[in-house]
Amino acid sequence: MAYHQKYDMEYVPADFFNMSEFEYDNSFENDPPADDDYGNDDAKPNTDTSALEFRNGKDIQGILWDRMNCTRDICRETRLKQYKNYESVLHSRAELEKECSPVEKNSIFYRFNFNTRAVKSTIMHFQLRNLVWATSKHDVYLMRNYSVIHWSAVLRRGKEVLNVAGQVSPPPPSTRNRRGPTGQPLSRVQISTMAVKDELMAVGGFQGELVCKRLDRPGVAFCSNLTTDENAITNAVDIYSSPSGSTRLMTANNDCQVRIFDVDDFSLLTKLSFPWSVNSASVSPDGKLAAVLGDTVDCLLADPQSGKVLHRLKGHLDYSFSSAWHPDGRVVVTGSQDTTCRVWDVRNPSRAMAVLRGRMGAIRGIKFTAEGRFMAAAEAVDFVHVFDCGAGYGRAQEIDFFGEIAGVSFSPDTEALFVGVADRTYGSLLEFRRTRPNHYLDSLF
């Protein structure tokens, strides 16, 4: 992945439609602090949007189009024409289009429910967008500056649960598992990626840090630098179950290493080496295969224990930064800067079973619903696509808004879809609710 010493959005301004209202916030140092509790804040202006207000004509992001110098349709058309997708490898778009699978995009699987500007996601690196995680249809975790915020969709309030702006210290010996490593103090961790699962939060940092927190306990459970390599960014973290049923944590770093930890004591179990920076690594539901993506056009399926490469997935024309496994374990989807996500059957990995293209830019986030019915593919900016897996990915919903996408997440019960939008003015958390047959009443709040 592209590596820079500081906040890496320098490529973005040229890609954006030149309108001040959509200028990305390159400097977040002066942002007001997040709410530190769930108390009321009646002084805030009503910039949120409910399902009822949306049905009555309000823009889902609260953009006042009648005060702008263009209509929404014209703005969208201009952005589609002017946006320049970041490419690491030059490739032919004409050849790419020949491969793409036909998709009907008029479905509505998830309806808009609520948008709040009370919490605004931020992005540390323009290629890393895995910064939103839902643990229920009411609970979402997202990164803002040097903090992780818990958003309650019921109370509609945010609460800081982790702050890494100052010094972050490992737990004292009396409280940690004595078999595990001691860890080391960290300071001012620039959060690059995160994962939340089963009451465990794992956060990766721009200098190769790893910070772990158990959500049901105070303080951090573990913190350390994973590497002393100068090119050290922690690009991805994945929490998964091993074949034995033990919970494991996998990290992917720019130092060409994949590391696997035992989350009971955070001891390092395995370190796997690859010939390029590893941008993403995700493990199959049975824990027997790992999708390893990096600064190469090929994606690998490897044994997570030995690192042995079992298959090479060939087809992408640029580097890949996201992957996700279908819950049945037979399908893995990879997202690339070539603007496509490719669907692979691991029983026949010689070619992709579907090639799904975005509208504007790189596919930087992929998530499945827990039962495997839907798959969300988030572009870097403006678009999230929800595909019907049961229809062979041939039917989709296209969710359209304005702003950089910090992350996308389904709730475990599949009832909610959350999208983090990073933007100076219109940064927000979008919430959608699953459409059910004969369920004609939307939320009135």
pLDDT digits (tens, 9 = 90+) for 111-142: 999 999 999 999 999 999 999 999 999 999 99
CB atoms within 10 A of CB 348: 10
CA distance 176 to 64: 52
Lowest mean pLDDT among 1-5, 81-85, 207-211, 432-436: 1-5
Cα→Cα distances 191→76, 146, 267, 317, Å: 31, 7, 22, 28
**What dotted CATH number matches 13-434?**
2.130.10.10
Residues 256-266 have a mean pLDDT of 97
* 0.85 exceeded by pTM: yes
Confidence class for position 175, pLDDT limits 50, 70, 90: low
CA distance 369 to 236: 20
Confidence class for position 179, pLDDT limits 50, 70, 90: low
Q: Is 25 exposed, middle or buried (0-12, 13-18, 19+ CB in 10 A)?
A: middle
Confidence (pLDDT) at 20: 35
Q: Where are the domains of the chain?
A: 13-434
Residues 188-194 have a mean pLDDT of 97
* Residue 395: φ, ψ to 5°: -125, 140
Taking the alpha carbons of 328, 192, 235, 100 in that order, is the dihedral positive or negative?
Answer: positive
- Amino acid identity, position 17: F
- Does the pLDDT of residue 44 top 70, yes or no? no
Residues 82-99 have a mean pLDDT of 90
Lowest mean pLDDT among 19-33, 275-289, 343-357, 408-422: 19-33
Residue 271 tokens read as: 């370190």
Alpha carbon of residue 381 to chain centroid: 12
Taking the alpha carbons of 40, 44, 48, 50 in that order, is the dihedral positive or negative?
Answer: positive
Confidence (pLDDT) at 25: 35
pLDDT in tens, 341-384: 999 999 999 999 999 999 999 999 999 999 999 999 999 999 99
Residue 202 tokens read as: 């794992």
CB 313 within 8 A of CB 342: yes
Run of H or E residues at 14? helix 12-15
What is the 8-class DSSP label of residue 104? B
Cα→Cα distances 24→9, 11, 126, 127, 277, Å: 9, 11, 11, 15, 27
Lowest mean pLDDT among 4-18, 87-101, 231-245, 381-395: 4-18
| E strands in 153-220 | 157-163, 167-168, 186-187, 191-197, 200-205, 209-214
CA distance 179 to 84: 50
Mapped onto helix, strand or coil, the DSSP state of residue 15 is: helix
> What is the residue whose two structure tokens read 């403006």?
382
* DSSP-derived secondary structure for 66-90: GGSSS-HHHHHHHHHHH-----SS-
CA distance 6 to 192: 11
CB 124 within 8 A of CB 190: yes
> What is the residue whose two structure tokens read 């990915």?
393
Residue 216 tokens read as: 């049901």
